[in-house]
Amino acid sequence: MTEARAAILTGYGINCEEELDAAFRLAGAAVDRVHSATLLRGHSDLAGYDIVALPGGFSFGDDLGAGRVLAHRIRSRQLPDGSTILEQLIDFAKRGGFILGICNGFQTLVALGLLPNTEGSYRQEASLAANLSGRFEDRWVQLAADDRAPHPAVSGLGSFEVPVRHGEGRLVFRDRRVREAVIEGHLSCLSYVDAAGAPTDAYPENPNGAELACAGLCDPQGRVLGLMPHPEAYLSAINHYDWPRRRRENPSMPDEGEGLNLFRRLVDAAGAMRADSGKEEA
């Protein structure tokens, strides 16, 4: 399969790029770290990439709300050719590229209107508000994927455990129409679930009180994916807080962490798209 290429945005307080870089490399992608300033100043572009990833962290210190300053710059900063980075991202997705945002990256994508984008207008339709607990949540959660979600990295992903670490992760929708469109389109593609595997509003299984127990959203075209939990923080079995007991009880357990599968699926989908594009050009 043709190797996919991923661009990881860095700088301005983003601090999870190392883990995200490792995740994509372990999944088989070629990776470049691109400082956000080089994009915003027009010194770099997205040509040649199959995946653009916005990592977690605290871009611009979250001083005006999580991800909002970065989103404002991406939306409004004009490049030398008169376009904006948001317009480049929209065009990138329309050409078949995949966009991923994790935690602060998810908050940025929502603020940009790239998620859930049920109207196709790229206007903000949701927000990620303060956790109902009133505090920063740093814990492990169980997620379940919606098999009918339009995103190829999520459909068929199943259930898996990953950590969360955020203070503003409670997804709220702009209005009932957006909420119903998200439900109808299976765009709430990752849910916080309880021990029985059912989506839940109960704390701490749902660590923030998100509507629809939503831990992750995708767009209707299956090109943009955002999630609050950190799959890149669970790439190895020993990343899990309870791994010694797990290993004793199941000596044959996989060495890989459960978060890696999402990246494998995303990289495979992007590689297949690159290969198809190559055939068309030939």
The residues that are catalytic are 103, 230, 232
| Residue 191 one-letter amino acid | S
Cα distances from 134 to residues 68, 169, 190, in angstroms, run: 20, 11, 23
DSSP state of 249: H
Query: What b/e readout covers 214-243, taking b as 16+ CB neighbours within 10 angstroms?
Result: bbbbbbbebbbbbbbbbbbbbbeeebbeee
Q: In 3D, which of 94, 125, 110 has the Cα closest to residue 54?
A: 110
Terminal alpha carbon distance of the chain: 16
